[in-house]
Chains A and B, each alone.
Chain A
Amino acid sequence: MTSQNVPAVEIRGVSKVFNPGGSNEVLALEDINLEIAAGDFVTLIGPSGCGKSTLLRLVAALVGSSSGEVLVNGKSADQARLDRDYSMVFQKAGLFDWRNVARNIELPLELMGWRKSARHRRSTEMLELVQLQDFARHFPQQLSGGMAQRVAIARAMSFNPALLLMDEPFGALDEMTREHMQNEVLRIWSETNTTVIFVTHSISEAVFLSTKVVVMSPRPGRIAAVLENHLESRDDTARDSPEFFANVSEVRKLLRAGEN
């Protein structure tokens, strides 16, 4: 486990240029500085093209930065990837449709060389965590979008990563399922003590979920503002609280300001 004084993620002066030197050169991110403490729930919000997904992939070391430094748990992002310090959830659940639900959850454990009995025990626990106990033998095609995304979260959490990276995980879900999934994620977050970085388009989602809202602006992608977001509680009553609405309009104001 990481000690409290090492930040979960440190981003220092990071820029990202796609296709450098080419005619289609794009400056996706410019001079990003961000520090995320262990146990934080941080959302990245901004319009399309502000580089929030790219920023997440930089933390995941799925793309490399053009300049600057990304540290995860005090080490380089790529080392953290090799050490399996983080796990990722995508907008599409991305379950392997030739594996049943339990074996999808066990995929990362297989890659880490867990024994079969241990894998099985773990996937059973994870199915309880996402409340899909009865679906272990089902195949992905038989699941609704929300259920598939819960399996994807179970898969991501199966090896207890210190950091969970979520790239618009609920973007393809309907509003009802979405609110339900938000409650689920908050429950899992509070139960597991994981640090979460969560990319979203939705202002209300960002304010409801996170302890910190990072507002980004496009062309080139920059951090326009960071809002500390304290809510009294994070249950369904919080969605109707005055501080929730106040923070929603604050984030909206910051987003508008960033556009101009």
Chain B
Amino acid sequence: MKASRLHGPVRRLAVFCLFVILLMLGYTAYKAFGQAIDDAQTDWPAIGSVLPRTDDLTMPSVLDIVRGVFDEPRRSNEAFGSIVFDKAVFTLREASVGFAVGVIVGLGIAIILSQSQLLERALVPHVIASQTIPLIAIAPIVVIWGRKNVDFLPWEWQDWMSVSLIATYLTFFPVAINGLRGLHSPSAEAVELMDSYAASRRHTLWRLRLPASLPYLFSAFKIAATASVVGAIVGEISAGVDGGLGRQILLEASRYTTGPERLYVAVLFAAGLGIFAFLTILTFEYGLVRRKGTELVL
């Protein structure tokens, strides 16, 4: 038992590496196959007319993508990977601020709604409706408002804060909904127990409802963390905010023909950012929620 638990993280890492290698092999294999049917299209009319063909432009080779990380673009003496890394850090900052504000707003909504059934029934549909507005539609509005109307704050409003706000819009929702479920999760007996001790609402919230909702909250945080990265990137793209991964992806898409591997590198960094955000939450969960005798569920 002990040995297998010790090897758990190592084995998980090995499985992950194997998965990445298989993905690269599959990618390379299809690229070769697509190129082959492109070369020999007259020989395989059926397959050749259905499956997409490939070439170095549509699917740059794995080696080219790796090389793209280290290549220095023209008019630059910095490796492309290092440039994209800086952009990723910029986007991560937007996403983190958006996540933090989203957690506070979401938890606040959950706590307020949990206090009254009437309030909950009246307002939950509106919380859900908020998510039906497409992010791309509100992003420019938020940026314009930020530039023109936000002058009451003690600090100067910057465009990246608008992007954080857009990320918040995605992150508060799972926190509010799951948080509400978590706050309602204690059994009737547990609530009666607190009542029998004449515990105040505040006491019941802090000693019973919030601790009981931690597992619910962490599954929301995991969704929200990745959503905040998506929100930041989409926010940058649709609001035209410079400095982050979103703008970089847009730029690489526009000059795709001269360097397709660069777009792939930027997208891979974006994926890496999402994974990083997820793993950060998982680490906190491991430290906070894991208790003796309970297994952590991914």
In the complex, chain B residues whose CB is within 8 Å of the CB of A108: 197
In the complex, chain B residues whose CB is within 8 Å of the CB of A142: 292-293
Between B187, B208, B292, the greatest number of chain A beta carbons within 10 A of the residue's beta carbon is seen for: B292
Asked whether B207 is an interface residue with its Cβ less than 8 Å from the other chain, the reply is yes
Chain B positions 180-197 with a Cβ under 8 Å from a chain A Cβ: 187, 189-190, 192-197
B198: which of A57, A84, A110, A141 is its contact (CB, 8 Å)?
A84
Q: Mark A59-96, 1 if CB is under 8 A from B, else 0.
A: 01010000000000000000001111011101010101
Asked whether A139 is an interface residue with its Cβ less than 8 Å from the other chain, the reply is yes
CB pair B187 A94 closer than 8 Å: yes
CB pair B211 A98 closer than 8 Å: yes
Query: CA of A94 to CA of B186 in the docked complex: distance in angstroms?
Result: 10
Query: CA of A87 to CA of B207 in the docked complex: distance in angstroms?
Result: 18
Asked whether A97 is an interface residue with its Cβ less than 8 Å from the other chain, the reply is yes
Asked whether A107 is an interface residue with its Cβ less than 8 Å from the other chain, the reply is yes
In the complex, chain B residues whose CB is within 8 Å of the CB of A1: none
Query: CA of A193 to CA of B166 in the docked complex: distance in angstroms?
Result: 63
In the complex, chain B residues whose CB is within 8 Å of the CB of A138: 292
A141: which of B187, B190, B292 is its contact (CB, 8 Å)?
B292
Query: CA of A101 to CA of B208 in the docked complex: distance in angstroms?
Result: 15
CB pair A86 B196 closer than 8 Å: yes
In the complex, chain B residues whose CB is within 8 Å of the CB of A165: 196
Interface size class of A (residues with CB under 8 A): 20 to 34
In the complex, chain A residues whose CB is within 8 Å of the CB of B7: none
CB pair B189 A82 closer than 8 Å: no
Asked whether A176 is an interface residue with its Cβ less than 8 Å from the other chain, the reply is no
In the complex, chain B residues whose CB is within 8 Å of the CB of A112: 197
Query: CA of A102 to CA of B168 in the docked complex: distance in angstroms?
Result: 40
Given contacts A84-B198, A96-B208, contact A141 B193 (CB under 8 A): no
Residue in chain A with minimal CB distance to B198: A82
CB pair A139 B207 closer than 8 Å: no
**A235 → chain B, closest Cβ, in Å?**
31
CB pair A94 B203 closer than 8 Å: no
Secondary structure at the B interface, as helix, strand, loop or mixed, is helix
Between A57, A83, A96, A142, the greatest number of chain B beta carbons within 10 A of the residue's beta carbon is seen for: A96
Asked whether B149 is an interface residue with its Cβ less than 8 Å from the other chain, the reply is no
Given contacts A87-B196, A98-B214, contact A139 B190 (CB under 8 A): no
**A6 → chain B, closest Cβ, in Å?**
21
Q: How many residues of B contact A (CB 8 A)?
A: 21
In the complex, chain A residues whose CB is within 8 Å of the CB of B211: 96, 98
Given contacts A110-B207, A139-B291, contact A81 B189 (CB under 8 A): no
Query: CA of A139 to CA of B211 in the docked complex: distance in angstroms?
Result: 15
CB pair B197 A90 closer than 8 Å: no
In the complex, chain B residues whose CB is within 8 Å of the CB of A86: 196
Residue in chain A with minimal CB distance to B215: A98
Query: CA of A60 to CA of B214 in the docked complex: distance in angstroms?
Result: 30
In the complex, chain A residues whose CB is within 8 Å of the CB of B207: 96, 107, 110-111
Query: CA of A225 to CA of B276 in the docked complex: distance in angstroms?
Result: 69
In the complex, chain A residues whose CB is within 8 Å of the CB of B212: 96, 98
CB pair A60 B291 closer than 8 Å: no
Asked whether B199 is an interface residue with its Cβ less than 8 Å from the other chain, the reply is yes
CB pair B293 A141 closer than 8 Å: yes
Given contacts A96-B208, A141-B293, contact A84 B190 (CB under 8 A): no
**B106 → chain A, closest Cβ, in Å?**
21
Asked whether B132 is an interface residue with its Cβ less than 8 Å from the other chain, the reply is no
In the complex, chain A residues whose CB is within 8 Å of the CB of B4: none
Query: CA of A112 to CA of B194 in the docked complex: distance in angstroms?
Result: 12
Query: CA of A92 to CA of B186 in the docked complex: distance in angstroms?
Result: 13
In the complex, chain A residues whose CB is within 8 Å of the CB of B292: 138-139, 141-142
Residue in chain B with minimal CB distance to A91: B189
CB pair A111 B203 closer than 8 Å: yes
Query: CA of A107 to CA of B194 in the docked complex: distance in angstroms?
Result: 9
Query: CA of A151 to CA of B231 in the docked complex: distance in angstroms?
Result: 48
**A109 → chain B, closest Cβ, in Å?**
10
Query: CA of A92 to CA of B188 in the docked complex: distance in angstroms?
Result: 11
Query: CA of A107 to CA of B207 in the docked complex: distance in angstroms?
Result: 8
In the complex, chain B residues whose CB is within 8 Å of the CB of A88: 192-193, 196
Instruction: List 12 A-B pairs, Cβ < 8 Å.
Output: A88-B196, A90-B189, A94-B189, A96-B190, A97-B291, A98-B214, A107-B207, A111-B199, A141-B291, A141-B293, A142-B293, A165-B196
